[in-house]
Structure 1
Amino acid sequence: MQIIDLFSGAGGLTEGFRKEFEVIKHVEKERAACETLKLRDSFYYLEKHNMINQYYDFLKGEISEKQLYSFVPKKIFKRTINAEINDKNIQSIFNEIDYDLDDTKNITGIIGGPPCQAYSTIGRSRNASKKSEDERIYLYKYYIDFLKKYKPIFFVFENVKGLLSFKDVDNELLFPKMQQEFEQVGYNLEYQVINAADFGVPQVRERIIIFGAQRAYPGLPRTFFDEFEAMKEKPLTVKEAFTGLPKLHSGQTNNKYVDEISYFERKYYRKSKKLCLTENVSRPNNANDLRIYKIVAKAKLKGKNLRYDELDKELITHKNTKEFLDRYKALPWNAPAHTIVAHIAKDGHHYIHPDPIQNRSITVREAARLQGFPDDYYFENSRTAAYTQIGNAVPPILSKKIAKAILIALEQFSL
């Protein structure tokens, strides 16, 4: 079953579909994310053709990326289209997809979700005056163009739950208009606001999942959500998600596992003893921030989220002490993390490690684990780019359940 992945990011949503579906194209505008997608496609090619040791050698630094890619056919790299989906590019994107589309098969599904920042409740009042200029608001219309062109049996559209309350330039709710537009091109749909933590992800992350199906299969959306609901499970805690990762301090890198592979690592993260740890790098911090980190982490251990205006006066350097009082926030040890967002690329103040002795914000690999990425997932091409890709991603632990629920639902309709 062939699917197209739109607004792909680093491929968190795609990851869940790879075993049962053939992802024929990813479409993504950010170059670093495209490099990550190409590397991940290479990983699966090498795994399938019993050459996975070359990938592990690359992670260890024993061969270069260029050498690694010499084992991979060029057609694998062409699965990723590095282009912004807009009026100028959409026809050329269609042409690239059509060139590689197997004429004996149709597109079974389209997955993805446009950038969510336009709909987020964070900064909504600040961005209200920019609505008329914000093209991101209407990127979903391009998604509909793909539905009209390829007529897949189903689609999965993921976004922030703020989409439900977002008002457009006419000060009217956008979501009912979106629903109507999806229906006008031949799809019945249902939606739910879900929390990723309810599906095993070590993170509280509320998102809207819209599932649509061609009108010929009127019960498919409801069947999908029934099957998806049955896949709920207890989330990992931060402590469980960090099992096997070494201790380190601010500004340090430590890419050596410390324990035998635990149950949690084997199930979610570290599936081969040959795998080496990568990207376990912590940001450097100034002395004032480190003093705050330690105080906030110690307070968290006692069950308190310390507000910025509760710090000693000599530690307060920001003039604004009326807003953003949770600007410094530690993760809990024995519960899922709060939501990982792309802002982590700018600073780690909202993601302080729960161990006060380590006194730092979380590493790239720790952030990836909280998002449910396996340790063999490597993020190109810088620490900042990696944090951005992770913060914007759909957790693969969640996306695997979405894909499985779709597969079961399709089988019930003999598809």
Structure 2
Amino acid sequence: MASGFRDKWARVREGKAPRVLDLFSGCGGLTLGFVSAGCASIGGIEIDRDASRSHALNFHPQKDGSPDERHAWPKDILKLPPRELLKELEARSAEKGVDLIVGGPPCPAYTRVGRAKLREVYRDPRAFKNDPRATLYVQYLEYVRALKPLALVMENVPEILNWGGHNLGEEICESLEDMGYRCAYTLLNAANHGVPQMRERFFLMAIHHTVGGEPAFPKPTRKVLFPPGYKGTRNFALHNVLRDGQGKEGSRYVHPPVPDEDAPPPVTAQQALADLPPLLDHTRGLDRRGPRSLDGDLSYGETPPSDYALFMRRWPRFSSDSRLRDHVTRCLTERDYRLFAKMAPGDDYPKAHALATSLFDKEVERLRRAESSPCEGTREYEQLRASFIPPYNPGKFPNKWRKMESDAPARTLMAHLGKDTYSHIHYDSEQKRVISVREAARLQSFPDGFRFSGKMNAAFRQVGNSVPPLLAWAIADDLLRCLGAAGRVPFRDPSHALGTSVPARVA
């Protein structure tokens, strides 16, 4: 068995591209980071049809640009034995075997947020423990056991460290150590690594003892002052991990590396998006409801690109062809256009609701003076009210809406983007709209040349479910360094030139 690991390690040290398999791959955020760092994609396992096709479209295209159907079909990890999958994916490959496994088992069972999750727990307080998605990490471990990679990376939400009072990170490490791996896990925030989004996630790295290296996580290239809410989420996740601020004895948890004191500030939303062409209401079809197709028929905007935006245009192997794809967004109501134009940066739903109520009262007063105001309680009055005030209770949905700040990174993009994008209202009040698919991709650090399969909602969902590729590249860089990979492509923060020694404002 050890000789198999040594053969793989020798191959990687000789300069051959490490062969990476992505479990629960989604459209391929982790894959993109590892491929950019010098790895070769074997394929991905993903049950969602559109996401699986996106992964094949970007990493396993045919000569005509269409996805290789051997990779594009959706795959259920519960029904697909490791060796059977590998035989299928390697059918046309001269190289064999898996050097690295990466992936993030679905996180809905662990996360605390979301209306559906709250309703589920209300009906059954133990529902989150009974969710079958909570045990998919077992299949991940079975693939590791069967395919014997040199190393692996697992990603998930921070709450995996405090799931029903259990630290699943430790339990996963114990299983991996029984297989001969050295393990460590931590929490990393994407904004610290050049991504224009404050997205905190759990990362676990394991290296087989045959290799001899110790897991290590990338040092931040950015200094960020995070809002108080991020500290609360982290404290909840680390409740069973830390004692007196230190890792419990025997814990595999390591504190995240810290940036240099003079590290530049985070990449802001404006630096990420300002070069994209504006989308105004009643133009470019924004007044049309219905499914939106993804297209590539736009030119870039007139604003010169920042260093970050330029890198998104020129990402190696995923550069733009000078025409912008996927810059499509949702049709809104006149009520929402009106509100978005008047909301201040950082405003959430309660503030938007209060603003809407004020605008409605002014309109009623105007109509009263004109002696045309409908009587309260009538159908006409309720219709007028609905045309000004959104229906959601501001006490129950404080985070449903939020207008981004131009001079700060965006807040966390969620898979719920596939249903609505009101959590990310564009900072430009003249555009008075929610973000587009391409803007969501930019905030997640997907390059402009990355393709998404499916319609608009499916693309939003794929972006929200992804690991930011820039962060994945930074993690891959450290891992490949530990492995002594001769073909490693070092990570480089694409926008250091934007920074100063003073952190950007984060509301």
Q: TM-score, normalised by structure 2?
A: 0.68
1:328 is displaced (CA, Å) by 1.6
One-letter amino acid of the counterpart of residue 27, structure 2: A
1:354 is displaced (CA, Å) by 0.5
Pair 1:180-2:171 in alignment: no
Pair 1:366-2:439 in alignment: yes
Flag the 1:325–1:305 CA change in 2: closer, same or farther, 3 A: closer
One-letter amino acid of the counterpart of residue 31, structure 1: R
1:208 is displaced (CA, Å) by 0.7
Distance, in Å, in 1 between the alignment partners of 2:213 and 2:480 is 14
Corresponding position of 2:329 = 282
Pair 1:411-2:484 in alignment: yes
> Which shows bigger deviation, 247-256 or 133-142?
247-256
> Which shows bigger deviation, 88-97 or 322-331?
88-97
Distance, in Å, in 2 between the alignment partners of 1:174 and 1:378 is 34
Distance, in Å, in 2 between the alignment partners of 1:344 and 1:13 is 19
Q: 2:403 pairs with 326, 330, 333, which one?
A: 330
The DSSP-based 3-state class of the residue aligned with 1:16 is: helix
One-letter amino acid of the counterpart of residue 336, structure 1: P
Corresponding position of 1:310 = 354
Distance, in Å, in 1 between the alignment partners of 2:83 and 2:110 is 27
Question: How many correspondences in the alignment?
Answer: 380
Distance, in Å, in 2 between the alignment partners of 1:256 and 1:221 is 44
Corresponding position of 1:350 = 423
Corresponding position of 1:34 = 52
In the TM superposition, what are the counterparts of 1:201-212 in structure 2 within 5 Å?
Answer: 201-212=195-206
1:21 is displaced (CA, Å) by 1.1
Pair 1:131-2:131 in alignment: no
Identity score, percent: 31
The DSSP-based 3-state class of the residue aligned with 2:484 is: helix
Flag the 1:203–1:261 CA change in 2: closer, same or farther, 3 A: closer
Flag the 1:91–1:21 CA change in 2: closer, same or farther, 3 A: closer
Distance, in Å, in 2 between the alignment partners of 1:227 and 1:152 is 27
Corresponding position of 2:104 = 113
Corresponding position of 1:150 = 147
Distance, in Å, in 1 between the alignment partners of 2:202 and 2:484 is 24
One-letter amino acid of the counterpart of residue 134, structure 2: I
One-letter amino acid of the counterpart of residue 238, structure 1: A
Corresponding position of 2:78 = 86
The DSSP-based 3-state class of the residue aligned with 2:113 is: coil
Pair 1:393-2:385 in alignment: no
Corresponding position of 1:60 = none
Corresponding position of 1:59 = none
Please say if residues 188 and 221 of structure 1, whose CA atoms lie closer than 8 Å, have aligned partners that are also in contact.
yes
Q: TM-score, normalised by structure 1?
A: 0.82
Corresponding position of 1:11 = 28
Please say if residues 6 and 26 of structure 1, whose CA atoms lie closer than 8 Å, have aligned partners that are also in contact.
yes
> Which shows bigger deviation, 18-27 or 254-263?
254-263
1:80 is displaced (CA, Å) by 4.7
Please say if residues 23 and 101 of structure 2, whose CA atoms lie closer than 8 Å, have aligned partners that are also in contact.
yes
1:172 is displaced (CA, Å) by 4.1
Flag the 1:304–1:125 CA change in 2: closer, same or farther, 3 A: closer
The DSSP-based 3-state class of the residue aligned with 1:180 is: helix
Instruction: Report which of the two has the higher share of helix.
Output: 1
Distance, in Å, in 2 between the alignment partners of 1:157 and 1:375 is 26
Distance, in Å, in 2 between the alignment partners of 1:294 and 1:389 is 28
The DSSP-based 3-state class of the residue aligned with 2:143 is: helix
Distance, in Å, in 1 between the alignment partners of 2:167 and 2:55 is 34
Flag the 1:14–1:407 CA change in 2: closer, same or farther, 3 A: same
Distance, in Å, in 1 between the alignment partners of 2:106 and 2:283 is 32
Q: Which runs of 5+ in 2 are unaligned?
A: 1-17, 222-256, 285-296, 358-384, 489-507
Corresponding position of 1:264 = 308
User: Could you give the per-residue CA deviations for residues 188-224 of structure 1, whole angstroms, max 9, x where no partner exists?
Assistant: 21011010000000000000110011133454214x5
The structure that has the greater radius of gyration is 2
1:406 is displaced (CA, Å) by 1.5
Please say if residues 15 and 400 of structure 1, whose CA atoms lie closer than 8 Å, have aligned partners that are also in contact.
yes
The DSSP-based 3-state class of the residue aligned with 1:307 is: helix
Distance, in Å, in 2 between the alignment partners of 1:30 and 1:384 is 13
Flag the 1:132–1:251 CA change in 2: closer, same or farther, 3 A: farther
Distance, in Å, in 2 between the alignment partners of 1:349 and 1:95 is 44
1:261 is displaced (CA, Å) by 5.1
Distance, in Å, in 1 between the alignment partners of 2:410 and 2:128 is 32
Distance, in Å, in 1 between the alignment partners of 2:305 and 2:355 is 40
1:279 is displaced (CA, Å) by 1.0
Distance, in Å, in 2 between the alignment partners of 1:248 and 1:403 is 36
One-letter amino acid of the counterpart of residue 147, structure 1: V
Corresponding position of 1:382 = 455
Corresponding position of 2:412 = 339
Corresponding position of 2:137 = 140
Flag the 1:381–1:216 CA change in 2: closer, same or farther, 3 A: same
Please say if residues 349 and 397 of structure 2, whose CA atoms lie closer than 8 Å, have aligned partners that are also in contact.
no
User: Could you give the per-residue CA deviations for residues 103-146 of structure 1, whole angstroms, max 9, x where no partner exists?
Assistant: 6x542110111111111121455433233542100000001011
One-letter amino acid of the counterpart of residue 284, structure 1: C
Corresponding position of 1:248 = 279
1:161 is displaced (CA, Å) by 0.7
Q: Which runs of 5+ in 1 are unaligned?
A: 47-66
Distance, in Å, in 2 between the alignment partners of 1:28 and 1:240 is 32
Distance, in Å, in 1 between the alignment partners of 2:356 and 2:41 is 53
Please say if residues 251 and 282 of structure 1, whose CA atoms lie closer than 8 Å, have aligned partners that are also in contact.
no
> Which shows bigger deviation, 17-26 or 121-130?
121-130
Please tell me the root mean square deviation across aligned C-alpha atoms, in Å: 2.9
Flag the 1:356–1:269 CA change in 2: closer, same or farther, 3 A: same
User: Could you give the per-residue CA deviations for residues 233-282 of structure 1, whole angstroms, max 9, x where no partner exists?
Assistant: 64311111013211112465472212355533322334657421011112
Distance, in Å, in 1 between the alignment partners of 2:145 and 2:483 is 21
1:359 is displaced (CA, Å) by 0.7
Distance, in Å, in 1 between the alignment partners of 2:463 and 2:273 is 16
Distance, in Å, in 2 between the alignment partners of 1:345 and 1:380 is 13
Structure with more relative contact order (C-alpha pairs < 8 Å, separation 6 or more):
2
Please say if residues 261 and 270 of structure 1, whose CA atoms lie closer than 8 Å, have aligned partners that are also in contact.
no
The DSSP-based 3-state class of the residue aligned with 1:25 is: strand
Corresponding position of 1:216 = 210
One-letter amino acid of the counterpart of residue 134, structure 1: D
Corresponding position of 2:368 = none
Flag the 1:251–1:207 CA change in 2: closer, same or farther, 3 A: farther
One-letter amino acid of the counterpart of residue 386, structure 1: A
> Which shows bigger deviation, 284-293 or 136-145?
284-293
1:388 is displaced (CA, Å) by 0.4
One-letter amino acid of the counterpart of residue 103, structure 2: G
Corresponding position of 2:491 = none
User: Could you give the per-residue CA deviations for residues 17-37 of structure 1, whole angstroms, max 9, x where no partner exists?
Assistant: 114111112111111112211
The DSSP-based 3-state class of the residue aligned with 2:34 is: coil
Distance, in Å, in 1 between the alignment partners of 2:175 and 2:69 is 34
Distance, in Å, in 2 between the alignment partners of 1:414 and 1:241 is 30
1:305 is displaced (CA, Å) by 4.4
